[in-house]
Structure 1
Amino acid sequence: MCSGGFAKCLGITLMPLSIVCVLCNILLFFPGGNIVDSEYVTKQVWFFGGILGSGVLMIFPALVFLGLKNNDCCGCCGNESCGRRFAMLSSILFAAVGVLGAGYSVVVSGVAISQGPLCLFNDTSTNETTWTQPFANGDYLSNKYLWDYCIEPKNVVSWHLSLFSVLLVMGLIQIALCAIQVVNGLLGALCGDCCGCCGGSDGAV
């Protein structure tokens, strides 16, 4: 497969991943599937890791990768293949933007998973209930019994953990795909596109 065609495949893969990340971030504004006041939404949700990092910032490289296959490579400064080579080289910059965006989403998701959701917590030691992030030490990940101490919103712990885990995994996949395009872009810039349009014109009379 030529480097442009391979980049297009990466772009096709990145687009649905970006959409999934945006949807996950939106759903996190409704903890446990419930509508709550904004002050009761976990603070990490407001960092927009899925919307900005793995969403908006990932759409730009995805669109660039999609367009590389159809990029005109002929007639550039007397070098028939330099147009394609320059396009592949520029795609590396967009891949780097994608890595930064997905990396931001991964960091936010990791912190959110570690600290747990904001919920109405029943503190058995004081017999008081208060809105807080009671699992800041991450113990709830291995002890589901602690989840019951979150009274409201219902099912907020599983909701929080599931969606941020999806964001974490999707972000890691996006980083891997963008890293692959960095290598693919370098090969395309150095070696040219094996399926380049100029190859067909060389044999023309």
Structure 2
Amino acid sequence: MCYGKCARCIGHSLVGLAVLCIVANILLYFPNGETKYASENHLSRFVWFFSGIVGGGLLMLLPAFVFIGLEEEDCCGCCGHENCGKSCAMLSSVLAALIGLAGSGYCIIVAALGLAEGPQCRDLYGQWNYTFAHTNGDYLLDPSQWSDCIEPKNVVQWNVTLFSILLALGGIEFILCLIQVINGVVGGICGFCCSRQQQYDC
């Protein structure tokens, strides 16, 4: 198994997932493509936690680029030994993976809380509030309740879809970073095995 190629594959996957998280989070600010609800502060409080932009997005790019660069990492001069550089690089990637775990974990937690509380909307009495906050997420299983939110139109579907996407993407990112923790530890201990020539170039 080539640990460097595995890390590189994970890195490219994380870049794509990070971009999707950022897009999903941005869309949460514009229910039905309208900007007025953001300017009037009529969005879910969890939208403002930037879980997709920061946690599943920008914070995920750091480990992603570290993983992508591992396969081309110079193998010379680590710890005073010419041939341990790649092993050290793999072990250092574990730290980057831990950052990824923290970012994806944050994205998962905030998305789950956003789903459980539901959107802020104008109810049947004309009041802006969290109509489903008292349901402990049960409204997710009963779409007939969603009509209790009359403005923004279809805001429940909007929030449920996008927070669910963030939850799923964050979960995939978490799994990939966890895989890289294992890959980095094993690769650091065993060394790179992409080719015997690379192992003796130094």
Please give the range of the TM-score, normalised by the shorter of the 2 chains: over 0.9
Partner of 2:192: 193
Is the CA contact 1:52–1:101 (under 8 Å) kept in the aligned structure 2?
A: yes
Check 1:158–1:8 CA distance in 2 against 1; reply closer, same or farther (3 A cut). same
Check 1:61–1:141 CA distance in 2 against 1; reply closer, same or farther (3 A cut). same
Partner of 1:51: 53
d(CA) in 1 for partners of 2:45, 2:156? 14
d(CA) in 2 for partners of 1:78, 1:18? 36
1:195 CA displacement:
1.8
Alignment RMSD: 1.5
1:126-141 matches, cutoff 5 A:
128-136=125-133, 137=135, 138-141=137-140
Is the CA contact 2:30–2:37 (under 8 Å) kept in the aligned structure 1?
A: no
Q: For 1:92, give the aligned amino acid.
A: V
Q: For 2:8, give the aligned amino acid.
A: K
> Which 5+ residue runs of structure 2 have no aligned equivalent?
none
d(CA) in 2 for partners of 1:93, 1:105? 19
Is the CA contact 2:118–2:131 (under 8 Å) kept in the aligned structure 1?
A: yes
SS in 2 for 1:51: helix
Q: For 1:44, give the aligned amino acid.
A: F
Partner of 1:70: 72
d(CA) in 2 for partners of 1:195, 1:53? 32
1:77 CA displacement:
5.2
Deviations 1:17-53 (CA, angstroms, capped at 9, x unpaired): 0000000000000123322233111110000000000
d(CA) in 1 for partners of 2:132, 2:80? 64
Is the CA contact 1:81–1:192 (under 8 Å) kept in the aligned structure 2?
A: no
d(CA) in 1 for partners of 2:162, 2:80? 52
d(CA) in 2 for partners of 1:45, 1:78? 48
More strand by share: 1
d(CA) in 2 for partners of 1:179, 1:109? 20
Q: For 1:20, give the aligned amino acid.
A: L
d(CA) in 1 for partners of 2:154, 2:34? 9
Partner of 1:17: 17
SS in 1 for 2:126: strand
Percent identity, aligned pairs only, is 47
Partner of 2:110: 108
Is the CA contact 1:74–1:198 (under 8 Å) kept in the aligned structure 2?
A: no
1:170-181 matches, cutoff 5 A:
170-181=169-180
> Which 5+ residue runs of structure 1 have no aligned equivalent?
123-127
d(CA) in 1 for partners of 2:37, 2:162? 19
Q: For 1:168, give the aligned amino acid.
A: L
Q: For 1:36, give the aligned amino acid.
A: K
